[in-house]
Structure 1
Amino acid sequence: MRFTSEQRLDDGVLEREFTLGEIPGTLWTPGSAPAPLILMAHNNGLPKAQPRLVARARQTAAYGYAVATIDALGCGDRPRSAADEQARAELRRAMRAGEPVDEIFESVVGPMVEKAAPEWQTTLDALLALPEIGGPVGYSGWTALGIRLAVVEPRVAAAGFFAGGYVPRAQREEARQITVPLLLLLQWDDEGNPRQRALDLFDAFGTKEKTLHANMGGHLGTPWFEMEDGGRFYDRHLK
């Protein structure tokens, strides 16, 4: 892991960009060390520099957590094949037109999860070797990837998921294997994630400790107070 830049934010959080082989990432660490770690992934491959993710990461670090995000393979600005780009464009077109998108979604997001999960695990190995980061480890963000990591990565002790309407079939099956505490955030009028599918997914999660927070509004309308509630969730399980 090689750090390429750093800046100290007003609240004392240290923000550093890093590379790990071909993987670009950002790490936020609080003043206290060693700190528990939260892996934070944005939905469906949006870049790690997406403003909403950065805002969540900085606030979470201010609560006393180390927070890391990466652009895994196929995510953010990392190269994608012409076929991948065409499939993404077709998915966007079909969603705007109100057409069935299940099969297109499978062809785009299923392979993305398969490629991203190993890179997140590689990143986790490197992060836990840093003296300023301790355990345990939490996850926050993209539901499909989070399900995979919660199942295959024993170091993940708690997980917070967003949306959950469209999740590949493989992860819907894997959801039954999850045993760690989890928190699912649901926007009741999310235009991109069918409500009933998200509710069905919540019902399928195998863990005995699961919480659903539902709020009115569209995909981008998650209330900021959910950050505070999320902080209390991680405090219960990671501190």
Structure 2
Amino acid sequence: MNFTSEQRHDDGVLEREFTLGEIPGTLWMPGSASASAPVPLILMAHNNGLPKAEPRLVARARYTAACGYAVAAIDAPGGGDRPRSAADDKARADIRRAMQAGEPVDEIFESFVGPLVEKAVPEWQTTLDALLALPEIGGPVGYSGWTAVGIRLAAVEPRIAAAGLFAGGYVPRAQREEARQVTIPLLFLLQWDDEGNPRQRALDLFDAFGSKQKTLHANLGGHTGTPWFEMEDGDRFFGRHLK
């Protein structure tokens, strides 16, 4: 892991850019973190490979780090600062065209998001290995954000102890089946009027999770309208399971 820049914010959070092979990422650390007082880690991913620098993700990461966690985000393959293939660009263009025309988009999302999950999860595991080797980070580990990746990580990665998932991104059929294997504590956030995510599909997914501790929070509003107070509830959720 090669750290390329760092910035200390007014709230004491230290923001550090890093590269890990071809993977670019950002690590936010609370001012209290040290080798003698390591902090838990939360992996934070944005839906369907949006960049780690997306303002909503950065705001969530800064808030979460100020609450006493190390927070890491990486750019998914083909997203953010990473090179895109011609197939990536075509899939994104096809999605935009179909949505603007009011045409079905499930099969386009399936062909795009499914392979993206397959590529992204091993990179998150590689990143997790490197982060847990830092003396200021001691675990346990939580996950927050992109549901499709979160399901796969929770199913295959025993170091993930709890997850907060956003129901607003497309979840491939493979991950809907894998949800039954997920048994860690979950907080599932649903925007009731999300124009791009059928409500019943999200409710069916919540029902499918194998976790005995799972909580659904549903709020009125569209895709990007998740109330900020859910961040406070998320901190309480992770505090119960990571601290």
TM-score, structure 2 as length reference: 0.96
Deviations, residues 88-142 of structure 1 (Å, cap 9, x unaligned): 1101211222211111111100000000000000000000000110110000000
TM-score, structure 1 as length reference: 0.98
In the alignment, the residues of structure 2 paired with residue 195 and residue 106 of structure 1 have an alpha-carbon distance, to the nearest angstrom, of 18
Are 1:116 and 2:153 an aligned pair?
Answer: no
Identity of aligned residues (%): 87
Of the three residues 98, 105, 110, the one matched with 1:106 is 110
Aligned residue for 2:198?
Answer: 194
Are 1:132 and 2:136 an aligned pair?
Answer: yes
Instruction: Give the C-alpha shift of residue 7 in structure 1.
Output: 0.7
Are 1:159 and 2:163 an aligned pair?
Answer: yes
Aligned residue for 1:141?
Answer: 145
Q: What is the Cα-based RMSD across aligned positions, in Å?
A: 0.9
Instruction: Give the C-alpha shift of residue 32 in structure 1.
Output: 2.0
Of the three residues 175, 194, 202, the one matched with 1:171 is 175
Aligned residue for 1:55?
Answer: 59
Aligned residue for 1:219?
Answer: 223
Matched residue of 1:234: which SS? helix
> Is the alpha carbon distance of 1:165 and 1:68 closer, same or farther for their aligned partners in structure 2, counting shifts above 3 Å?
closer
Aligned residue for 1:74?
Answer: 78
Runs of at least 4 residues off by over 3 Å: none
Instruction: Give the C-alpha shift of residue 164 in structure 1.
Output: 4.7
Matched residue of 2:58: which SS? helix
In the alignment, the residues of structure 2 paired with residue 98 and residue 175 of structure 1 have an alpha-carbon distance, to the nearest angstrom, of 29
Instruction: Give the C-alpha shift of residue 165 in structure 1.
Output: 6.0
Q: May I ask how many residue pairs the two structures share in their alignment?
A: 239
> 5+ residue gaps in structure 2?
none
